[in-house]
Amino acid sequence: AVTRHDIVFHQAVARASGNALFLQIVRSFEPLMVEAVPLAWKTRDTDEARRIVLHRHAEIACAIGDRDAEGAILLMNAHFDTAIGAVL
């Protein structure tokens, strides 16, 4: 369930960007995410660590909803850095 929600979330973010190429790129990552998301989620082995990820997603969604492009970009960059760091 977490994997499907994560994929849907990231595709929605890409769709909200209004950039068709970016959306296509994110969609092309779906098979990779099916493998990577469960691995990344396992590195978040406490409820608090998992809450942080979900909270970051909520912050990104709120920034997009508020049409705060700069805030959404900053939050997305921080989220990306944290997510990649968890897997590496």
- Which one-letter amino acid corresponds to residue 10? H
- Which one-letter amino acid corresponds to residue 81? D
Q: What pLDDT shows up at residue 40?
A: 86
Write a three-state SS string for 56-87: HHHHHHHHHHCCCHHHHHHHHHHHHHHHHHHH
Secondary structure class of 19 (helix, strand, coil): coil
Instruction: Enumerate residue ranges in the chain where pLDDT < 50.
Output: none
Those residues whose C-beta lies under 8 Å from the C-beta of residue 39, and which sit 6 or more positions away, are 87
Domain ranges of the chain: 2-87
Q: What pLDDT shows up at residue 85?
A: 72
Q: Is 45 exposed, middle or buried (0-12, 13-18, 19+ CB in 10 A)?
A: exposed
Q: pTM of the prediction?
A: 0.83
